[in-house]
Structure 1
Amino acid sequence: MPTTPPVRPGDPAYEPHRFRQAAESFGTDAQRYDRARPRYPDALVERIVAGGPGPDLLDVGCGTGIASRQFQAAGCRVLGVEPDERMAEVARRLGGTEVDTATFEAWDPAGRKFDAVVAGQAWHWLDPVAGAAKAARILRPGGRLAAFWNVFQLPREVAEAFAAACRQAAPDVPFLAQAVAEPALDGYQPLFVKAIDGMRAADAFGEPERWRFDWDWTYTRDAWLDQMPTQGAFTRLPPEKLAQVLEGVGTAIDGLGGSFTMRYTTVAVTATRTGGTRPGNTRPGITHTDNTHPSSTA
């Protein structure tokens, strides 16, 4: 489910960057966030690294450094920018990542330039136009801006069981069950479109592309219950309400045999920094590249 505010796609207020207090809730248990959240496909990391002019990479909204560590392992020199000091401290401690504590909009690059600017699970917390414009200013020609998201889709029988558990445990919070039951990619489409529009508006990138990587991951009962409190729909539930939801979902997983296989889709919206204004297009489009990634790197 999207880690975004409970505003429905298509609503004029569907602008997550205006609800940044929701993003700040993730740092309440930064250790759990780092432990439980899925990593990103190796194929995505490799493609970004291979397509850049050099190794200098900025990780926007780096959180606990999940993506930063993957890019470091691929040979990049990574600087993170993260507004939550609790998350930044974990990134420094676990990966040795250098992190500036600031919002990307307010962050001072101090003349530094980068070969890639990436944002994993974070670009929707920025104004997409201002964010792309700032990325363009700090990217070297040929450098890549890549915003990417892990989107999970529960199998139908699992989604139905989880939705029923949410309705029973939290009938006064109806969007929980709705978020679990709805196709997750549908909820993310407005985020992809806003990211694409922001890159185009910067007038400094080639035509944006959308890359897709599909993969599966099997969760045990304990592993899934560990991740649920890190998701945006649950981070701000009162503790007693969250405990009830987790108990109900745990019972549902037990009824499914104690584990289930999740289908993940990792989507990257990406564009390359040009030397000047972007090339003209009479009919601008988006390039979709589908890749199969059979397993997570978690």
Structure 2
Amino acid sequence: MPTTIARTAGRTLFGENARAYAAFRPDYPDRIFEILETRCRVGESKSVFEIGPGTGLATVPLLAMGCRVTAVEPDARLAAFLVDSQNAHADRLNVQTVTFEEAIMPAASFDLGIAATSLHWIEPGQALAKAFHLLRPGGHWAMWWNIFGDPDEADAFHQRTHALFERLQKSPSHGDGPKGHFGLDRKHRIAELEQAGFESIIAEEVRWRPVLNKQQILGLTATFSPVARLPEIERQAFLDRIGAIVDEEFGGRVMRHFMTAIYTARRP
């Protein structure tokens, strides 16, 4: 039975090719940022901390909304990419190259905290307790995941390739809940938020249906932690197999069924 990748691996797993990660990881749906505006009151001059920003898929839209962002990124390569790519917002972006567990930030000083496809890489109870401590009274918390599949309506490509991925190690995002993903296990995610002291908890799922070409499929697949962890020869063979399926069975273009699960909450 495949083992699960250690959470600590997330500190260094994604920075080897930051440009490729930035190029092939899809943006978060617009609905996510609508929720941050309307439900979490994000806007001009709001103070935000972010756990594991990576190349800035969530950071960049927040900066564009006028927020001041403290981004905590343990991988120095990803941190450097984020800093270099956001020179225009340097006065409103502070990147700490450290784990969230070790980060030092002033208590009760942020309007919003976020974790975008990152919370499964750290112990959630510990992280949420710290997040609660960092927020001002009345401050908001949001955590969400892009999920590259829809357990309620699996697409044909997922059905064709599922067995190939099942042979690999499991990401910590692979959950034990009924829908098989950490972010879709509402019962446990809500319980963890409540245990940390949050209230006004709302969960929402956003579905989207991108059409991806072979290059996009392979680029995205290469960023998945179980694939990135493979030795180079095995990784290339795996990607070659995926590419052949795209070409030979899907004519070079694939409609995927993706979804984003978001949870918002408030510190009393």
TMscore range, shorter length: 0.7 to 0.9
Aligned to 2:40, the other structure's residue is in SS state coil
Aligned to 1:141, the other structure's residue is in SS state strand
Report the Cα offset of residue 52 of structure 1: 3.3
Deviation string, structure 1 residues 176-229 (Cα, Å, up to 9, x no partner): 79x99xx994233576544322211122x2142211111111100011111111
Give me the whole-angstrom Cα distance separating, in 1, the residues matched to 2:187 and 2:3: 18
Q: Alignment partner for residue 101 of structure 2, among 105, 125, 128? A: 105
Is 1:21 the counterpart of 2:20? The answer is no
The answer for the alignment partner of 1:86 in structure 2 is 77
Q: 1:42 to 1:163 in 2, by over 3 A?
A: closer
Aligned to 1:108, the other structure's residue is in SS state coil
Q: Note the aligned Cα RMSD (angstroms).
A: 2.8
Aligned to 1:26, the other structure's residue is in SS state coil
Aligned to 2:37, the other structure's residue is in SS state helix
Report the Cα offset of residue 110 of structure 1: 3.6
Q: 1:44 to 1:190 in 2, by over 3 A?
A: closer
Deviation string, structure 1 residues 37-57 (Cα, Å, up to 9, x no partner): 011111211211333356211
Amino acid at match of 2:156: E
Superposed, 1:92-131 pairs within 5 Å as 92-96=83-87, 97-111=93-107, 113-131=109-127
Pairs aligned (count):
251
Q: 1:73 to 1:135 in 2, by over 3 A?
A: same
Q: Alignment partner for residue 47 of structure 1, among 22, 32, 35? A: 35
Report the Cα offset of residue 163 of structure 1: 4.2
Q: 1:160 to 1:190 in 2, by over 3 A?
A: closer
Q: Alignment partner for residue 153 of structure 1, among 143, 146, 149? A: 149
Deviation string, structure 1 residues 37-78 (Cα, Å, up to 9, x no partner): 011111211211333356211111111111100111223221
Report the Cα offset of residue 24 of structure 1: 2.1
The answer for the alignment partner of 2:140 in structure 1 is 144
Is the 8 Å Cα contact of residues 212 and 268 (structure 1) preserved in structure 2?
yes
TM-score normalised to structure 1 length: 0.76
The answer for the alignment partner of 1:247 in structure 2 is 240
Q: 1:22 to 1:47 in 2, by over 3 A?
A: closer
Q: Alignment partner for residue 63 of structure 1, among 54, 71, 78? A: 54
The answer for the alignment partner of 2:26 in structure 1 is 38
Is the 8 Å Cα contact of residues 75 and 97 (structure 2) preserved in structure 1?
yes
Q: 1:100 to 1:191 in 2, by over 3 A?
A: farther
The answer for the alignment partner of 1:267 in structure 2 is 261
The answer for the alignment partner of 1:221 in structure 2 is 214
Is the 8 Å Cα contact of residues 208 and 271 (structure 1) preserved in structure 2?
yes
Give me the whole-angstrom Cα distance separating, in 2, the residues matched to 1:91 and 1:219: 25
Q: 1:93 to 1:185 in 2, by over 3 A?
A: farther
| Structure 1 portions without partners, runs of 5+ | 8-15, 168-172, 275-298
Give me the whole-angstrom Cα distance separating, in 2, the residues matched to 1:44 and 1:206: 19
| Structure 2 portions without partners, runs of 5+ | 88-92
